[in-house]
Amino acid sequence: MLAGCQQEDPKGADTAASGEQRIRVAMLQPPRSGLNPLTDDAFKLSRWSTAETLVRLNDDGDPQPFLATEWEQLDPRTWRFEIREGVTFHDGSHLTAEQVVKALSAATKASPKPRILDGVSMTIEAEDDHAVIVRTAEADPLVPNRLSSPQLAILAASAYGEDGRVNPIEAGTGPFVLKEINGTQSARLDRYEGYWGEKAELAGIDADYVPDGTARGAALRTGTADVVEAVPVSQVALIDPELVHEVPMPRTNTLYLNTETGPFQNPGLRAAARQAIDRDAIVRTVYEGRADVAKGLLGPALPWADELRSPIEGRTPAADPEGAKITLATFTDRAELPEVAVLLEQQLTTAGFTVQQEVRQYAHIEADMLSGEFDAFILSRATMLDSGDPVAYLYSDFACEGSFNIAQLCDPDIDAALKRAADLPQGPERRQAIIDAEATILATDAAVPMLHERVIQGESPHVVAAERDPRERRLVTEHTRLAGESDE
């Protein structure tokens, strides 16, 4: 695989000039399930624009028409989706309501179910040839957002086997048809001439899986890949700056403080810890400036978050730590976190705390983290799940019944704010309610957001209109192309 990554390809400008351009993509991870769309492999199918969903999200995370042209909520638990006409699957069959029912029903019956359906009971039936009815056991204003998840892509009936396996070859509706799956080595896609939207500019996509970061950096430097996922920070200094593009991620590096036991039961000591943290120093040293200093739990991957914020009110004044002993923990699986822990130990010690570190692999520390064994814990946390909405993350981490409540926090005001946000439909009012809930959480100082991470995407100077998507759902689209001489 790596040898193939280094091999020079005579294609490029000549191919671009011919109008039969193929783009070479170096992907971060090989598929884990043979590109089964009901797993995380679905995000590759989405990034290659071969599998499509009923709904897609705009930059604000609001649902937009895709294979469904419109929808309406008939009652709190029932939705009707109108199916786009004139769409064909890559195997030549036609998109119908029955095909949608088959695809979504396969997802609800999968084991394990797609993450987006965790805790959700959903049934789908055809109303007629061009509309489906989606019912949930509980009221759920996020149904359109859920249907935007790549794991709920609509594939042809031929894709679904009796054994529960799903084969995505020649089964999608997107501008590129998946032609070959070469195990964990590569995949090949060609332009789909019968696409319902604008025909793809590229003739196809050649995707190689290159899990080694050094090899991905080399592929970009040598021109053996046109687009490269997740270029490591360590490689950036070796690459022409014009070839690297930083994309904000919906991921926040946060210090969680234990509110149930130990010194940080005292909100004054939590405030002292917050004031001790020098976020700029962490970004400048550990992340080499390739991260964003946090202003809240939600970062620039949600462009509306910062503009809706107001100053946090109701915080307890900082108290003198007077040598209070605290255990600061994190894990080794993300290389930056132990370095962050070293810097935080210095900063907290300077503020008057006595700090002891505990660092293990994530698999060996998660149980203790969730049971409140540590006074403080550093975590890199995804702030949007597959729905593109942060309420699920906020509830999981900060509600009394939250399943990922590292801070052991239970505050009725927070629960009330989260419930209000969860009950609102997508739109400006829900977004403001989310920021209000964030402010209620931050006022407790149970969590101190430090920085928002970025991913670095590499692109050849010939690449035009590759997507730089914080949600990692889009990469090569029908508009992506390689520039010819007339573009230079």
CA distance 435 to 400: 19
Q: What residue ranges in 101-142 does DSSP mark as E strands?
A: 122-128, 131-136
Residue with the two structure tokens 């054994």: 163
SS3 98: helix
Cβ contacts of 424 within 8 Å, gap of 6 or more:
141, 430, 433
The range of the structural domain enclosing residue 123 comes to: 52-162
Each residue of 75-103: pLDDT tens digit? 999 999 999 999 999 999 999 999 999 99
Distance CA(466)–CA(481), nearest Å, equals 8
Contact indicator for 375, 328 with CB cutoff of 8 Å: yes
**Pair 307, 421 in one domain:** yes
Is pLDDT at 467 greater than 70 in this prediction? yes
Question: Which backbone phi and psi does 128 adopt, to 5 degrees?
Answer: -155, -160
Distances (CA, A) of 242 to 268, 306, 461: 47, 28, 8
Strands, E assignment, 21-76 = 22-27, 55-57, 63-65, 68-75
Report the mean per-residue pLDDT for the chain. Answer: 91
**Are 367 and 417 in a shared domain?**
yes
Rounded to an integer, what distance in angstroms lies between the CA atom of residue 488 and that of residue 479?
18
**pLDDT value of position 162:** 78
CATH number at residue 19: 3.40.190.10
DSSP state of 235: H
pLDDT band per the 50, 70, 90 thresholds, residue 487: low
Q: Are residues 428 and 324 both part of a single domain? A: yes
- Assigned domain for 168 exists: no
pTM exceeds 0.85, yes or no: no
Q: pLDDT (tens digit, 9 = 90+) per residue, 28-61?
A: 889 988 899 998 899 999 999 999 999 999 888 8
Residues forming a β-bridge with 251: 382
For the chain, the distance separating the N- and C-terminal CA atoms, rounded to the nearest angstrom, is 32
DSSP secondary-structure letter at 166? B
The number of domains in the chain is 3
Contact 329, 379 (CB under 8 A): no
Do 4 and 71 sit in the same domain of this protein?
Answer: no
- Report how far Cα 32 is from the mean position of its chain's Cα atoms: 17
Same domain, 347 and 309: yes
The burial class, CB within 10 Å (0-12 / 13-18 / 19+), for 363 is exposed
Give the C-alpha separation, 225 to 209, whole Å. 11
Tokens of 191: 């332009």
Q: What is the CATH number of the domain that holds 61?
A: 3.90.76.10
CB-based contact 261:408 (threshold 8 Å): yes
**Co-location of 125 and 28 in the same domain:** no
